[in-house]
């Protein structure tokens, strides 16, 4: 851009300068050539008159051709010219060169001109030919003489002058170019600076621009552009900041946001909405709302919101059973005709509400049964059982059992609460995995055998040690064994073992019991959750929940695998020390 401006300014002046010099040089040299040719033409005509006077005597005395030939040869040798004498009829009388290059047509033309004007001349690139009449003493026409001189003998050599002219033009061109660049620098530089500034503005740079100072008539334009750049820079900076804030909010929101234009094309879809509808990598943009939402309830909500009605609905979608609260509203002021749809994922809240309801129900159930038994026993004693000492002793023993059950339930609730709040002290030690299995195996062997089951332990001795609280992990193992004991019919088997899986040691308790339905596997570690209350065999339903929290406090994981009627396997992992 800058060189083009500079050349547009300088090139016309340089072209005019070169054309002027060329015209001046060519015209001057042509004038010089014509003046030199005229001078030589006049000189040769004078010489022709002299030769005509010399030849007059020879022709008046009826000179012979030989005399005229000698006369012509004399002048030709002396002056290095060609001389020819003709009679009035144009017949050759004498010549210094019988091989003359004069054509008959040229001679006839010269004869007519000489006879008409008394003299004549003919100029060509090779030579110059002049002629004049020869008159006698009585002014009678005796003939005429022609003189021919080669151009090299008289014509001025213009080649040095042409070379000099070319040098002058070249020097003038260089000087003119330098002068034009210097002169135009003051006028062009401010324009170039303005163009650079505008180009940077177009690229998004509105600060630290080099506007020309003191640019005379461009000063007002320069100042206006500078003020405009400052204002645009401030406005764009503010818009960029606001957009960054909005983008950060939208990206970090757990609620989904979708904005559709009046034609139903998605214009904005934040990451939360992309996760909900499984449309990643901005692939949802510019697609229709129907393609992205895919559920007719949501499409109907969008259509009603587009018509100007704020709509709210709740529904469950997808294989993950997401529970959403969806709100659609028209954007009348900011984006006329567009629609905003908000998606609040209430799945976790719904699950927690379900857990809360189940917890209250389970606690109520677990408390109601022993309390009902205690009330019935107390009423029986009041109605006369106290008068029967053996019966009273039996009822009191049953009351103690129910009180123990209530005490166990309260203790386990308190223990679980302490574990969840992180208030349970843990004493970590570097211990071999087999040393964690042995205490639980020894403590539960007798109880398992009384239930008609067999308990086996198979622990590889070469397993690396783990960091763990032995008492707490033993409690976890006992809870898992006790759980397997309740759901394994007599004659079954319970196995304990461990193996290494990468950076973890995995412990497991496997039984040959009734198994767990698949729909319950994901919830068996919740508080009070019981897969089949008809086959629970008692218990509070807190053992697996306590085990889960205890394993997680060690940095491990716990899970279960099971098939109905084929037994269950409970696993938990601890990091290698």
Q: Where are the domains of the chain?
A: 2-156, 254-345, 350-420, 429-575
Examine the pLDDT at 5 and tell me if it is beyond 80.
Answer: no
Examine the pLDDT at 511 and tell me if it is beyond 90.
Answer: yes
- Predicted confidence at residue 420, as pLDDT, reads 67
Choose the CATH number for 429-575 among 3.30.565.10, 3.90.105.10, 3.40.605.10, 3.55.40.10.
3.30.565.10
Which class does domain 254-345 fall in?
A: alpha beta
Residue 533 confidence class, pLDDT cut points 50, 70, 90: very low
Class of residue 96 by CB neighbours under 10 A (exposed 0-12, middle 13-18, buried 19+): buried
Examine the pLDDT at 572 and tell me if it is beyond 90.
Answer: yes
The tokens for 162 are 């042409």
Examine the pLDDT at 535 and tell me if it is beyond 60.
Answer: no
Q: In Å, what is the CA distance from 154 to each residue of 33, 68, 126?
A: 11, 25, 11
17-72 pLDDT, tens digit each: 777 777 877 777 778 777 777 787 788 888 888 888 888 777 766 545 667 888 88
Residues 406-426, mean pLDDT to the nearest whole number: 73
Highest mean pLDDT among 84-93, 386-395, 451-460: 451-460
Q: Whose CA is closest to 276, among 290, 296, 291, 255?
A: 255
Residue 187 confidence class, pLDDT cut points 50, 70, 90: low
558-569 pLDDT, tens digit each: 999 998 888 999
CA 392 to chain CA mean position, Å = 88
Q: Is 2-156 a CATH 3.40.50.720 domain?
A: no
Asked if 290 contacts 299 with a C-beta cutoff of 8 angstroms, the reply is: yes
Q: Do domains 2-156 and 254-345 have the same CATH topology?
A: yes
- Predicted confidence at residue 185, as pLDDT, reads 61
Spatial strand order of the sheet with 504-511 comes to 454-458, 493-501, 504-511, 568-575, 558-562
Mean pLDDT value across the chain: 79
Q: Whose CA is closest to 27, among 158, 160, 216, 181?
A: 158
Q: Is 350-420 a CATH 1.10.3720.10 domain?
A: no
Q: What is the 3-state secondary structure (H, E, C) of 486-516?
A: HCCCCCCEEEEEEEEECCEEEEEEEECCCCC
- Predicted confidence at residue 534, as pLDDT, reads 39
Structure-derived torsion over alpha carbons of residues 90, 94, 100, 103, reported in degrees to the nearest 10: 0
Say which residue the tokens 């083009």 belong to.
4
Residues 176-199, mean pLDDT to the nearest whole number: 69
311-341 pLDDT, tens digit each: 888 888 877 788 888 999 888 766 777 888 8
Structure-derived torsion over alpha carbons of residues 513, 518, 520, 523, reported in degrees to the nearest 10: 110
Per-residue DSSP letter, 253: -
Residues 87-99, mean pLDDT to the nearest whole number: 74
Question: Whats the size of the chain, residue-wise?
Answer: 577
160-182 pLDDT, tens digit each: 777 777 787 788 777 777 776 66
Examine the pLDDT at 469 and tell me if it is beyond 80.
Answer: yes
Residue 1 confidence class, pLDDT cut points 50, 70, 90: very low
Say which residue the tokens 């110059």 belong to.
128
The tokens for 238 are 């503010």
Q: Whose CA is closest to 395, among 409, 406, 407, 384?
A: 384
Examine the pLDDT at 106 and tell me if it is beyond 70.
Answer: no
pTM over 0.75: no
Q: In Å, what is the CA distance from 344 to each residue of 257, 353, 409?
A: 9, 16, 37
């Amino acid at each position: 851009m800058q060189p083009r401006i500079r050349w547009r300014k300088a090139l016309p002046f340089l072209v005019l300068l070169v054309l002027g010099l060329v015209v001046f040089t060519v015209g001057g040299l042509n004038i010089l050539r014509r003046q030199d040719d005229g001078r030589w033409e006049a000189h040769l005509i004078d010489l022709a008159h002299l030769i005509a006077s010399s030849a007059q005597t020879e022709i008046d005395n009826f000179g012979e051709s030989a005399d005229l030939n000698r006369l012509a040869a004399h002048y030709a040798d002396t002056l290095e010219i060609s001389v020819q004498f003709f009679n009035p009829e144009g017949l050759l009388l004498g010549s210094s060169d019988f091989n003359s290059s004069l054509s008959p047509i040229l001679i006839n033309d010269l004869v007519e001109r000489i006879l008409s004007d008394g003299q004549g001349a003919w100029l060509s690139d090779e030579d110059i030919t002049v002629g004049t009449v020869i008159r006698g003493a009585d002014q009678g026409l005796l003939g005429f003489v022609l003189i021919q001189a080669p151009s090299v003998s008289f014509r001025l050599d213009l080649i040095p002058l042409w070379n000099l002219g070319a040098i002058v033009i070249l020097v003038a061109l260089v000087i003119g170019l330098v002068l034009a660049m210097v002169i135009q620098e003051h006028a062009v530089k401010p324009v170039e600076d303005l163009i650079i500034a505008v180009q940077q503005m177009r690229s998004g740079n509105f600060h630290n621009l080099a506007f020309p100072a003191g640019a005379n008539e461009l000063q007002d334009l320069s100042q206006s552009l500078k003020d405009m750049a400052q204002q645009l820079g401030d406005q764009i900076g503010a818009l960029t900041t606001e957009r960054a804030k909005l983008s950060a909010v939208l990206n970090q929101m757990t609620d989904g946001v979708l904005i559709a234009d009046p034609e139903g094309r998605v214009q904005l879809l934040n990451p939360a909405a992309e996760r909900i509808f499984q449309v990643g990598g901005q692939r949802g943009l510019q697609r229709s709302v129907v393609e992205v939402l895919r559920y007719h309830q949501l499409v109907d909500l969008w259509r009603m919101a587009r018509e100007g009605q704020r709509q709210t609905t709740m529904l469950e979608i997808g294989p993950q059973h997401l529970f959403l609260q969806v709100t659609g509203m028209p954007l009348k002021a900011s984006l006329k005709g567009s629609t905003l749809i908000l998606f609040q994922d209430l799945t976790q809240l719904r699950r927690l509400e379900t857990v809360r309801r189940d917890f209250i129900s389970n606690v109520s159930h677990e408390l109601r049964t022993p309390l009902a038994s205690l009330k019935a026993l107390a009423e029986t004693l009041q109605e006369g059982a106290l008068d029967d000492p053996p019966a009273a002793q039996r009822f009191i023993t049953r009351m103690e059992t129910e009180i123990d059950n209530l005490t166990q339930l309260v203790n386990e609730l308190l223990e679980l609460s302490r574990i969840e709040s992180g208030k349970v002290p843990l004493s970590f030690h570097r211990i071999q995995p087999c040393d964690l299995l042995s205490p639980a195996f020894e403590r539960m062997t007798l109880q398992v055998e009384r239930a008609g089951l067999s308990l086996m332990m198979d622990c590889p001795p070469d397993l690396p040690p783990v960091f763990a609280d032995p008492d707490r992990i033993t409690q976890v193992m006992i809870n898992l064994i006790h759980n397997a004991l309740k759901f394994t019919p007599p004659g079954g088997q319970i196995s304990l073992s461990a193996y290494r899986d990468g950076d973890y040691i995995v412990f497991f308790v496997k039984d040959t019991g009734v198994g767990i339905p698949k729909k319950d596997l994901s919830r068996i570690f919740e508080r009070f959750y019981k897969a089949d209350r008809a086959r629970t065999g008692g218990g509070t339903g807190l053992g697996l929940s306590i085990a889960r929290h205890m394993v997680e406090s060690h940095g491990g994981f716990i899970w279960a695998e099971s098939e109905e009627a084929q037994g269950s396997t409970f696993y938990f992992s601890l990091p290698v020390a």
